[in-house]
Amino acid sequence: MKGKIILCLCLAVCLTVLGVSGYMVWNDYAQRQKAQNEFDDLNRHTTVATPDEVSTVGTEAETVDVSSAASADQQELSRLGVSTYQNNIHDFKTLRGLNSDCAAWLTIPGTTVDYPVMHTPNDPEKYLSLSFYGSYSVSGVPFLDAGCTLYSDNLIIYGHDMNSGTMFAPLLNYESKSYAQDHSVIQLETEQGVKSYSVYAAARVKADDKYYNLKDAPNKEYYDQKVMNITQRALYTVGTQPQFGQKLITLSTCTNTSYDDRIIVIAVQK
């Protein structure tokens, strides 16, 4: 009799643990899905044009279709004097009306990265666990380094690596050079328009890596030193090393290996 009671108690404990675990898994999934649905709704609500509708830019010499030019040889783009600076795809008046902390919109074509970017210099990690609307969110919102401005030499943007494959999870795929070559374009949209960047390198670093100090280079020596150092430690590079005066964007996320491990993807403005 005593043995049956103990067995029943053990069974009850196991069922309780299983139930709690199942609820936690379900709740975590539900929160992540809710966050992604909010981003999708925000995207639809604020989109005013498709990339195809804003894919032409004018130069003094001629007008070029950027959607075609993006895959052209970089030297040819330079010869034409083309900048991949496009009209806006999102309505920033509406975005900033919903949340004045919204500074940009980040997109990596061909991936799930398609999110607003927040900037709160006086509260650097405000959106680490907040939604775009200010409620708790396990996904957070990508945010620009507090030490950067939208005109910095290196725009450093942080985002979570979510197990669901959302947010900055696709950055882990950039450990493969072939993936980087197939997903080489990063677009950052601000109120002034859309700028395109070409992926240069990916690297594994620590959270306190000195590369993160490169935001606004005081001189050529500082810029070249930081770029050369990360180039030497990169998993690979694509194209030529960035030169002083070229603007960079760096996307950073955590990895599954260690708490303070990060993977960064560095791209150069076209």
- Mind listing the pLDDT tens digit for each residue in 203-238? 999 999 999 999 999 999 999 999 999 999 999 999
Residue 263 pLDDT > 70, yes or no? yes
| Interior angle at CA 147, CA 143 and CA 148, nearest 5 | 65
Total of domains in the chain: 1
Q: Each residue of 38-73: pLDDT tens digit?
A: 999 999 999 987 655 554 433 333 333 433 333 343
Cβ proximity of 90 and 45 under 8 Å: no
Q: Is residue 53 part of a domain?
A: no
Which residues does 37 contact at the CB level (< 8 Å), separation at least 6? Answer: none
Q: Do the domain assignments include residue 139? A: yes
**Within a domain: residue 116?**
yes
Higher pLDDT, 79 or 30: 30
Average pLDDT over residues 98-110: 97
Residue 242, pLDDT > 90, answer: yes
Residue 32 in contact with residue 139, Cβ under 8 Å?
yes
Query: Which CATH number belongs to the domain containing residue 233 in this structure?
Result: 2.40.260.10
Range of the domain at 261: 42-48+88-269
pLDDT at 26 over 80: no
What is the overall mean pLDDT for the chain? Answer: 83
Note whether residue 143 is domain-resident: yes
In a domain, 29, yes or no: no
Domain-embedded: residue 55: no
Q: What is the pLDDT of residues 174-206, one digit of tens each?
A: 999 999 999 999 999 999 999 999 999 999 999
Q: How far is residue 170's CA from residue 108's CA, in Å, rounded to a whole number? A: 9
Q: Is the confidence at residue 128, as pLDDT, over 50?
A: yes
Tokens, residue 175 = 């450990």
Handedness of CA 168, 172, 177, 179 (dihedral sign): negative
How many CB atoms are closer than 10 A to CB 162?
18
| Domain assignment of residue 10, yes or no | no
User: Which range (54-58, 92-96, 139-143) has the least confidence?
Assistant: 54-58
CA-nearest of 256, 254, 208 to 264 is: 254
